[in-house]
Structure 1
Amino acid sequence: MFEIKHYPELSWSLSRHKTFLTCLRKYCYDYYTSHNGWLRDADSLARQAYRLKKITNLEMFFGSIIHDMIYQTIQDVLSNRSVIDESKFVEEVRRHLNRGFIESTRKEHLWQNRPKHYTMFHEIYYSQSDTLPDKKVKKITDRLHKTIQNFYASKSFAEVLNKERMQFMESEKFRYMTVNGIKIFVVMDLLYKDLQNNKWIIVDWKTGKSSDEDRNQLALYALYLRQKFNIGSLDDIIIRNEYLLEGTHIEHKLTEQDLINVQHLYQISMEQMQMQLMDPEQNKPKSFEQFPMQEDPRICSQCNYQELCFPSL
């Protein structure tokens, strides 16, 4: 039975860590102020913070659609259902993009009441315009065909099609491992075992460019996999980034030091997060004023919470 708690459960993820480093005020809004903001009897600030938290932008929305469509396509393959071709895939992505645009420009009243179920683009909400920037539209249009074509041509999708030699375990689900009683959340796009070569394979689809954070993300995946399935050697784990924009993939060779580094990362990060608590047992945060705002206007301009931080604007 779902239990309503006054404070959320303390957990850790790479995205939470990134938010913590970027802006403590945003961190507070994301993980504390917005808590329970979906409830009918929540106070106005919690509802407003929860609503703003659900704002997305065009690039993020595009990436989520591609991930969802890839997930469904792979499920169709594994369930022996007919698989859509590239042209149908493109058509479906366009349909979802158009839906997001229509909801952002014509259905704001529905989003205001049910922000989890409707889309609102940052570019629309804060510009108070009914159009998206031409530069961004062109960027997504240019990425659309490339990304989908490269998915169908990818090494990982070829291995999915050769499913008889693969054992598929989990895909696109929140999972976690527990460290000192705290959940460390991990999200893997695709996980399977190559039965012929006796290798575990983790696939992460990327619709953008590579980043320095990729290695820590992959090390966290390997750490989870080793704990979950009691895998002794890292040589038995293949971690692959599929960069769909460039049409390339990289298989990373992780070392024990990589796993030690990511363990140190979340241990130090968690200690810093716990320092922001008034009552660690309840996960009750310090007062709102003790979470300072980011001072870089470039970061603030991309933030969902401008309405709360700069109400006069």
Structure 2
Amino acid sequence: MPLSLHIRSDYMFEVKPHPELSWSISRHKTLMECPRKYGYDYYVSHNGWLRDADSLARHTYRLKKLTNLEMLFGSIVHDTIYQVIQHFLKTRQIPSEQKLVDRIRQQLNQGFIDSTRREHLWHDKPKHYTMLHEIYYSQQDKLPPNKTAKIQSRLGTAMNNFLKSQTFQDIQTPENIRFVASEDFRYMMIGDVKIYIVMDLVYRDINQDKWVIVDWKTGKASAEDRNQLALYALYLKQRYQIDSLDKIVIRNEYLLEGYHKEHALNATDLINVQNLFGMSIQEMSHYLADVEKNEPLSIDQFPKYQEDHKCARCNYQELCFG
């Protein structure tokens, strides 16, 4: 399929009965993990943020916004890294590891307070407050000690490894670096399908004439890491008319293990990610009553892939099992 690029401009929000069909690696992973979860995530929860939405849509949207301790930690770390880099570019100042650890710990504590003392606020505005899965489903005002201990141990490790990372070392020679603002990437189109692009960091190494795409990881390496970065490289190649894949470096920074991994891309990688997209879109169409309108089948026609350990972590277990 032909690929085209779009930069999103301001637009007036329009309430539609069905969501726009879009695609991402994470959406594909959700479908492969459990079609029922996929149905709740992308269809039943649609418009659930509206005051006049039906009760199921509102409840499903609320559950969609649940997070867990590991996910909250990862989100806060990503935000912190972004803020540190922006601050460094303006001031050339680097905060201490302890200051970063304290900042992250404070935000984690805020998430716990939201979950245990502000449930009524989260219930009304789930996008603006945090509700931890561990609190919601246990109905207890405490977190599992083994989980809190694990996150405590990760705090210093992640920030120490970030400050020592190859990417942060590169950034400290700004005369050799040209950053690509995050506003420059929004989404691309393959056919009629919008593919959202969310890159952690992109910069150009002037000395080596390389474009570098960085993805910070607070979890373990997975097979999807390369595909995700290949998708970003496909976008970058088209967006900036880069003539050779040799000029694009894709890099994962694994913050818990303290190492980075770079991939040498070739044309096969780009073909593979486009094939993955095609296969995935075809599978998604099996759950549509009307493909043109992106109208889904009823939720009971999205099968459950029941696995005890996955269901126990799922946001929608109360909808599936009562």
Match of 2:176 in 1: 165
Letter in 2 for 1:18: K
CA deviation profile, 1:64-108 (whole Å, cap 9, x unmatched) = 000000001111122236442211111100000000011111111
Residue 283 of structure 2, aligned match among 272, 281, 286: 272
Match of 1:11 in 2: 22
Letter in 2 for 1:176: Y
Indicate if the aligned counterparts of 2:40 and 2:299 stay in contact, CA closer than 8 A. Answer: no
Shift of 1:172: 8.6
* Cα distance in 2 for residues equivalent to 1:162 and 1:268: 42
Match of 1:33 in 2: 44
Where do residues 129-144 of structure 1 align in structure 2 (5 Å cutoff)?
A: 129-144=140-155
Residue ranges of structure 2 left out of the alignment (5+ in a row) = 1-11
CA deviation profile, 1:31-82 (whole Å, cap 9, x unmatched) = 0100010000000000000000000000000000000000011111222364
Residue 54 of structure 1, aligned match among 55, 60, 65: 65
Match of 2:163 in 1: 152
* 1:196 partner SS: coil
- Against the structure 1 CA distance between its residues 227 and 81, is the aligned structure 2 distance closer, same or farther, given a 3 Å change threshold? same
Task: Provide the aligned C-alpha RMSD in A.
Answer: 1.3
Match of 2:4 in 1: none
* Cα distance in 1 for residues equivalent to 2:217 and 2:142: 27
Indicate if the aligned counterparts of 1:71 and 1:172 stay in contact, CA closer than 8 A. Answer: no
Indicate if the aligned counterparts of 1:172 and 1:188 stay in contact, CA closer than 8 A. Answer: no
Match of 2:201 in 1: 190
Match of 2:239 in 1: 228
Runs of 4+ residues deviating >3 angstroms: 171-174
Match of 2:114 in 1: 103
Indicate if the aligned counterparts of 1:191 and 1:200 stay in contact, CA closer than 8 A. Answer: yes
* 2:18 partner SS: coil
* Cα distance in 2 for residues equivalent to 1:5 and 1:78: 41
* Cα distance in 1 for residues equivalent to 2:261 and 2:182: 20
Q: How many residues align?
A: 311
Shift of 1:174: 6.5
Letter in 2 for 1:154: S
* Cα distance in 1 for residues equivalent to 2:185 and 2:233: 15
1:287 aligned onto 2:298: yes
Residue 101 of structure 2, aligned match among 90, 95, 98: 90
Shift of 1:217: 1.0
* Cα distance in 2 for residues equivalent to 1:267 and 1:170: 29
Pick 1 or 2: higher relative contact order, CA cutoff 8 A, min separation 6: 2
Residue 219 of structure 1, aligned match among 230, 235, 238: 230
Residue 45 of structure 1, aligned match among 20, 45, 56: 56
Match of 1:258 in 2: 269
* Cα distance in 1 for residues equivalent to 2:180 and 2:219: 26
CA deviation profile, 1:121-143 (whole Å, cap 9, x unmatched) = 11111011111111111111111
1:20 aligned onto 2:31: yes
* Cα distance in 2 for residues equivalent to 1:88 and 1:306: 38
- Against the structure 1 CA distance between its residues 140 and 128, is the aligned structure 2 distance closer, same or farther, given a 3 Å change threshold? same
Shift of 1:173: 8.2
CA deviation profile, 1:193-217 (whole Å, cap 9, x unmatched) = 0111111000111111111111111
Residue identity (%): 60
